[in-house]
Amino acid sequence: MQGNRLSNRDSTIVVMFGALFGLALFCPCGKTTTDLKTDNTATMERIADLLEGNRICGSIRSSENISQLVLNYQNGTKLIIIDKLPSVDEEYISRVQAADLIISKCGVVLRDLSNNTLILMENNDSTSIARFNSVRSIISDNYTSTRIFGVTTVNKDNSY
């Protein structure tokens, strides 16, 4: 009895429908705030939009002195120089080896890829503080926040 068997064409249609349905379930479009708190990629994309910043992801090394923190991204392809406010200690950043970074005029957001902890470093001006308050409204409680004086980015291609 062949009434219950699907032809090759029918089974292909069923498989394609299932694949399309699966894609629709995992599409990041229309995420709510709760969804953003659990989806790191969507969260970082939304933060980059809020801060009008550039997002990069890769290995980092850091060094600091009393007034600056330097993030060496991808073995020197980019240096992110963060001017610290007095008495700000960024010692925990020295343990980060790979990060998802957002660099903007308002500050820097660093997500440690080993434990998904966010580090918010906001400039000490009213516009930056307001933008970072918007960021805090879409993230979970797993973050550290500090104020900084400013950010300078040096690209390897542009330096001599």
Q: What is the pLDDT of residues 105-153, one digit of tens each?
A: 999 999 999 988 899 999 999 999 999 999 999 998 789 899 999 999 9
Helix, strand or coil for residue 137?
coil
Under the banding of pLDDT at 50, 70 and 90, the label for residue 89 is low
Q: What is the pLDDT of residues 35-87, one digit of tens each?
A: 444 578 899 999 999 999 999 999 999 998 888 999 999 999 999 999 988 76
Residue 22 lies in a domain: no
Domain of residue 61 covers: 32-158
DSSP state of 124: S
Residue 1 lies in a domain: no
Residue 130 lies in a domain: yes
β-pairing verdict for 143-155 and 118-123: parallel
Dig out the tokens for 112 from the structure: 């440690």
Taking the C-alpha atoms of residue 60 and residue 95, their distance in angstroms, rounded to an integer, is: 10
The total number of structural domains in the chain stands at 1
